[in-house]
Structure 1
């Protein structure tokens, strides 16, 4: 059928209309695309550039250099050393087993270390470097570097690691660092991001832990370019962090070394405190351990040898050890009675060798008794009966009040771990702890530092310093932070009558310097260094009536762990007190024989600023003392190295 002219014209008009509609639609789409492209390329250019940059550039943290710890004179106690280590990256190594076995042929590696490294390599992403071995010697490090072509994926690196050049001497005070654990992170509300770095180390115990905020410093940052799979291509920018602050302690490294050596193989502790400002010059606990082992990763056998040792080398006995103070507590009982008006300085008691109360005998250490005894004589001879009598007059609450005034039963805040409060009991304490009433027998036992009373060597040193100075001096361990001297507030007066304190000092002088003093064997003959103190012996077992009847078994006939603790507290010089000292020798027997000689040697070293002068000892003792001093394993004053020993 032929199309008419009209049909042709209608069809043309329809096509033209459709073309216009399609053209309009296409124009609108092009316009919309143009607007969108302009929006993305111009208006949003900076935002998309930033997103692209974030995908291409990563920011990583740079661990800060840890601050140094020094003694009061600037000698290094804890520092940082170069750590030569080797890392491996799985994607570059190819056959990791083969590469590691080649590496083991160059440097010492155990089968356990190889297995551990393989597990860690498999656990991490292929491009993440894994530490294979650290603390390599320069020779081993060089071997790896020279053989690098045969060790694909293996890279020798140089970093920093903590080191304790005087480790054994300061293990308990300074502590050590270790890798951050999940427990460490859980204890913090907002953990520093640097703590999440692999193998980053923080303080675990001691000053390293409690001054972590000062020592750690602030992490730096570096910008690195990575490819699509996260592999590092190059470093673009670096901003170094802030090193940790340096800390200077009050401890004298040489005195600490001398005290540690003097304690020898004993399970013991010694504290030396400046009575004028509270500076702790010495806090030695024996036996000690090598903190460098913990930094490097202590072996199971080494750790087992420490935990299995009955002398407890891991415990800081100076602040965490709580012991019955024995007769070193008698000054507390006496001062409480004097202050309460229960007795005066002229008070006297007859000692027949025991006191009977409630059908029970409380014995004096002198079986035959001391006869008539006055206040200063009761300290000189350490008469127990005098204090049994006095305690009944004053009561436990006044004794506890005086004990706390002198620093017992009080936690002294220091940057050290496991500081004990000790126990300074009273009526309320026993009711709260045991739901029992306090008894007179409890007071009698407490009067001579037995029963419930417990004190640390630190607390005993504080007590002695306060008696010697008449002021409420408090212990201090940190002297300077980043070169800034830490302020010391002047200690307030104790509020105890001077004549009462002087009576205590006279009694302590007689303990060492009178003919019948319990510690006469430890006297000092140098006039400028005259020593005053008090011996103490605390029982760790009950002595039955039957044993007393047939004769008390001497300490040297008992197993070590059933012997009495030996204690001594003292200060010097007597007429111008400068230093207070306390010594506890666990299961040492008698305070006069085991603890007092150590206290004398250490306080003489403090006064002399070095080796105790032989002229300070009685002439009859000088030959023995000279031999003993020469045989002490002292460390080099500059390097801290222990000569002729593998403990350096």
Structure 2
């Protein structure tokens, strides 16, 4: 059938349109190929020329800058310092043994160290850099850089390394960083590749470990040209990593330094809590150690000395150490009795020096007895018989429940290592633990903080803060992260009758300020800082009959590790509580003689915001206190963020 002229015209138009579209598509493809060829020949010509010449381009990880730790006033308590080091990569080194032999002419390296280095290199991936030396001197570092052409695969580097400017002051709470070990990596399901970098520093214990994810930061990358001999020719591009978070702690460097020095060489611990918000102002364990030794790689001799020291300097006694709390536990027993309605403020028990139960005598610390004793006097004189009688009436389950309300027998949520739970025992606990029933003698021992009861210095400070405020004070260590304040929760009411708390507080006040108080000699005489407290002495062992026959009748006559622990808890000001303090001195003897003066001095420093005035101390002690402060190396409150030290 013959097409009409109109159909012919329409068909021609369709063919033309399709031709134009096909031509445009072909032009686009040809244009794209042309643009790509131009880019490869002009824009990336150098890169492809390098590849054709036998050079290669490699991606290297850049270690991130570790986040800083500040005290509450902005002082750096964990920072970073310049560190010169060198690494070697097996893939690029070729004859590794020959390179190490040349390197030994530039850097001091024993035969044992060289052998260990070669073994480490053989175990690592061929492309993984291995550290040759850390904290090199400038002369060693520059010698390696100058001789780089003769040291294929060796890369000198300037990096940052952790440093603790306050030395041992924060060693136990902050912990330290160290090299990432195979053991560390084995505990991680999907380790961050940056952990494989040579000498990368990883939080081992303490805050450094618990806050590792936010302190580590994120690695950067750099693209480098490497020639056929493995030597880096130049850096092609760099993308810096993200620095770890800056964390502001609740700690006060000046107070921490004072607490550490006041504990001295004792095997001891002290905790200071701001009762208004739970901030831990100081948390000191003694003796201290220098965490910088671990950062740089502690020697076998130094580590052995720390491990063999009978005062256990590596142990954090503030949260890991648990001790029979002794008479500091009596507030829990007293409040349990008052809360149960089985005793009241007017209850009186007669103490003749002992209470006989089931054919066994339970002695009071005062063998002559205290006569008739009411609740306030029971704390003032620390009468054991009063608490034996209370425990018989109340029972252990109520005492244990009150102890837990006051913060004992529970694990407090802090970014520290191995925070102990302690023990607030009850009938079910003994049955589960030992498969034995609870007996009345267990209750009597527990009522005075002996027997199965165990508490850490942190828990004792929390208990004191809760008694002082009537609220569920919870301790905290982190104040802000990257400038953003951590939320401060409202502390719930403990649900303890205010009249009952008043009895306990008046008893603690009488301990310090009455003429018959067991810790009167350690009182604060400044009215605005009036202190309430409680002494404690926990028995490590009984003096045997044989020892008594030999004349060993006093604690100080025993070897050091057999003596009683000395404890003391306190808070101030009495009318408007601000700080609570606990002190434990291992094998220190009596709490009133040893622990109370230390706690009083630390509390006064916190209240004064620095070295306290001598007028706050009793007259006869001022000369001795002045001399003690003169000999201390204290951080000046005016030193600012630099963290310098000055004599008081």
Q: TM-score range by the shorter chain?
A: 0.7 to 0.9
Change beyond 3 A, Cα 1:198–1:156:
closer
Whole-Å Cα distance in 2 between the matches of residues 210 and 97 of structure 1?
Answer: 38
Q: Deviations over 1:59-103 (max 9, x none)?
A: 332111110001011100111111012345644988435423421
2:212 maps to what in 1?
Answer: 212
Worse overlay, 396-405 or 237-246: 237-246
1:415 maps to what in 2?
Answer: 415
1:385 maps to what in 2?
Answer: 385
1:103 maps to what in 2?
Answer: 106
Q: Deviations over 1:476-512 (max 9, x none)?
A: 0000000000001110111111111011111001101
2:249 maps to what in 1?
Answer: 249
1:475 maps to what in 2?
Answer: 475
Secondary structure in structure 2 of the residue aligned to 1:409? coil
1:172 maps to what in 2?
Answer: 172
User: How far is the alpha carbon of 1:259 from its aligned partner?
Assistant: 0.3
User: Is the 8 Å Cα contact of residues 99 and 151 (structure 2) preserved in structure 1?
Assistant: no
The structure number with the bigger radius of gyration is: 1
1:487 maps to what in 2?
Answer: 487
Whole-Å Cα distance in 1 between the matches of residues 549 and 334 of structure 2?
Answer: 31
1:629 aligns with 2:629: yes
Secondary structure in structure 1 of the residue aligned to 2:310? coil
User: How far is the alpha carbon of 1:146 from its aligned partner?
Assistant: 6.2
User: How far is the alpha carbon of 1:633 from its aligned partner?
Assistant: 3.5
1:530 aligns with 2:533: no
1:132 maps to what in 2?
Answer: 132
Whole-Å Cα distance in 2 between the matches of residues 95 and 319 of structure 1?
Answer: 51
Worse overlay, 352-361 or 134-143: 134-143
Change beyond 3 A, Cα 1:348–1:125:
closer
Whole-Å Cα distance in 2 between the matches of residues 142 and 133 of structure 1?
Answer: 13
Secondary structure in structure 2 of the residue aligned to 1:184? helix
1:563-602 mapped onto 2 (5 Å cutoff): 563-602=563-602
Whole-Å Cα distance in 2 between the matches of residues 464 and 524 of structure 1?
Answer: 18
User: Is the 8 Å Cα contact of residues 91 and 127 (structure 1) preserved in structure 2?
Assistant: no
User: Is the 8 Å Cα contact of residues 75 and 643 (structure 2) preserved in structure 1?
Assistant: no
User: How far is the alpha carbon of 1:630 from its aligned partner?
Assistant: 1.3
Whole-Å Cα distance in 2 between the matches of residues 186 and 154 of structure 1?
Answer: 28
Whole-Å Cα distance in 2 between the matches of residues 383 and 262 of structure 1?
Answer: 29
User: How far is the alpha carbon of 1:310 from its aligned partner?
Assistant: 1.1
User: How far is the alpha carbon of 1:545 from its aligned partner?
Assistant: 6.2
User: How far is the alpha carbon of 1:253 from its aligned partner?
Assistant: 0.5
1:510 aligns with 2:513: no
User: Is the 8 Å Cα contact of residues 280 and 477 (structure 2) preserved in structure 1?
Assistant: yes
User: How far is the alpha carbon of 1:138 from its aligned partner?
Assistant: 3.6
Worse overlay, 603-612 or 191-200: 191-200
Whole-Å Cα distance in 1 between the matches of residues 152 and 549 of structure 2?
Answer: 82
2:197 maps to what in 1?
Answer: 197
Secondary structure in structure 2 of the residue aligned to 1:473? coil
Change beyond 3 A, Cα 1:481–1:352:
same
1:151-166 mapped onto 2 (5 Å cutoff): 156-166=156-166
User: Is the 8 Å Cα contact of residues 79 and 163 (structure 1) preserved in structure 2?
Assistant: yes
Whole-Å Cα distance in 2 between the matches of residues 127 and 390 of structure 1?
Answer: 71
Q: Deviations over 1:446-474 (max 9, x none)?
A: 00000000000000000000000110010
Worse overlay, 241-250 or 179-188: 179-188
User: How far is the alpha carbon of 1:424 from its aligned partner?
Assistant: 0.3
Whole-Å Cα distance in 2 between the matches of residues 363 and 253 of structure 1?
Answer: 44
Whole-Å Cα distance in 2 between the matches of residues 484 and 290 of structure 1?
Answer: 30
User: How far is the alpha carbon of 1:213 from its aligned partner?
Assistant: 1.1
| TM-score, structure 2 normalization | 0.86
Whole-Å Cα distance in 2 between the matches of residues 435 and 597 of structure 1?
Answer: 42
Secondary structure in structure 2 of the residue aligned to 1:318? coil
User: Is the 8 Å Cα contact of residues 382 and 518 (structure 1) preserved in structure 2?
Assistant: yes
1:403 maps to what in 2?
Answer: 403
Worse overlay, 619-628 or 326-335: 619-628
Change beyond 3 A, Cα 1:121–1:497:
closer
Whole-Å Cα distance in 1 between the matches of residues 94 and 228 of structure 2?
Answer: 15
1:297 maps to what in 2?
Answer: 297
Whole-Å Cα distance in 2 between the matches of residues 288 and 166 of structure 1?
Answer: 11
User: How far is the alpha carbon of 1:329 from its aligned partner?
Assistant: 0.3
Whole-Å Cα distance in 2 between the matches of residues 139 and 612 of structure 1?
Answer: 48
Whole-Å Cα distance in 2 between the matches of residues 221 and 253 of structure 1?
Answer: 36
Secondary structure in structure 2 of the residue aligned to 1:620? helix
User: Is the 8 Å Cα contact of residues 536 and 591 (structure 2) preserved in structure 1?
Assistant: yes
User: How far is the alpha carbon of 1:542 from its aligned partner?
Assistant: 2.4
1:251-290 mapped onto 2 (5 Å cutoff): 251-290=251-290
Number of residue-to-residue matches in the alignment: 598
User: How far is the alpha carbon of 1:135 from its aligned partner?
Assistant: 1.1
2:3 maps to what in 1?
Answer: none
User: How far is the alpha carbon of 1:139 from its aligned partner?
Assistant: 5.0
User: Is the 8 Å Cα contact of residues 153 and 230 (structure 2) preserved in structure 1?
Assistant: no
2:65 maps to what in 1?
Answer: 65
User: How far is the alpha carbon of 1:174 from its aligned partner?
Assistant: 0.5
Secondary structure in structure 1 of the residue aligned to 2:306? helix
Q: Deviations over 1:313-332 (max 9, x none)?
A: 11110001000000000000
Name stretches of at least 5 consecutive residues in structure 2 with no aligned partner: 1-28
Change beyond 3 A, Cα 1:191–1:535:
same
Whole-Å Cα distance in 2 between the matches of residues 184 and 131 of structure 1?
Answer: 18
Whole-Å Cα distance in 1 between the matches of residues 201 and 528 of structure 2?
Answer: 48
Whole-Å Cα distance in 2 between the matches of residues 148 and 222 of structure 1?
Answer: 20
User: How far is the alpha carbon of 1:221 from its aligned partner?
Assistant: 1.9
Q: Deviations over 1:285-307 (max 9, x none)?
A: 00111111111111111111111
Q: Deviations over 1:235-257 (max 9, x none)?
A: 33221121110000000001000
Whole-Å Cα distance in 1 between the matches of residues 117 and 196 of structure 2?
Answer: 20
Change beyond 3 A, Cα 1:570–1:124:
closer
Q: Kindly report the root-mean-square deviation, in angstroms, between the aligned alpha carbons of the 2 structures.
A: 2.9
Change beyond 3 A, Cα 1:139–1:193:
closer
Whole-Å Cα distance in 2 between the matches of residues 305 and 314 of structure 1?
Answer: 11
